[in-house]
Amino acid sequence: MDVATFAAGCFWGVEHEFRKIAGVKEAFCGYEGGHTENPTYRDVCSKATGHAEVVEVHYDPSVVSFSALVEKFFDMHDPTQLNRQGPDIGDQYRSAIFYHNDEQKKVATEIKERLDKSNTFSKPIVTQITPAQPFYKAEEYHQKYFEKNGVNYCH
């Protein structure tokens, strides 16, 4: 299994979308990219920790490539919005790819640059591409939130 980590707004919808992809074995909601150890949802929402709401994706690279996951990531949210997605505002909702190795960094950067040059979006992409940092799994009630609550939501 390989691991990829993405921030694309509220993690509930992002997790739900990644779970639908063949080859994704598991996806976890969590927090990454901040300076507070073991943050809670309340801590992150205070905007004082620097963390983003992220989804850590465990996938089988023989079934789905990192490149395909990055393409899906850019398709499932608006990567031109700085520190927000729709009505959710704050740096915890920023667009980011936390790469786990040099190959992931290269692929993510190439796809972001290609999309920017193609004018796929009407504004420049603001997605951060940064090294993976400690991942803190979110509270259990956030995991598979839509499934647990009978929500049929498409991010």
Which of 92, 102, 97, 55 is CA-nearest to residue 79?
A: 97
SS3 at position 6: strand
CB 69 within 8 A of CB 53: no
10 is catalytic: yes
The β-bridge relationship of strands 95-99 and 128-131 is parallel
Catalytic residue among 10, 29, 45, 154: 10
The Cα angle at residue 12 between residues 101 and 32, in degrees rounded to 5: 35
For residue 139, the 8-state DSSP code is: P
Kindly list the catalytic residues: 10
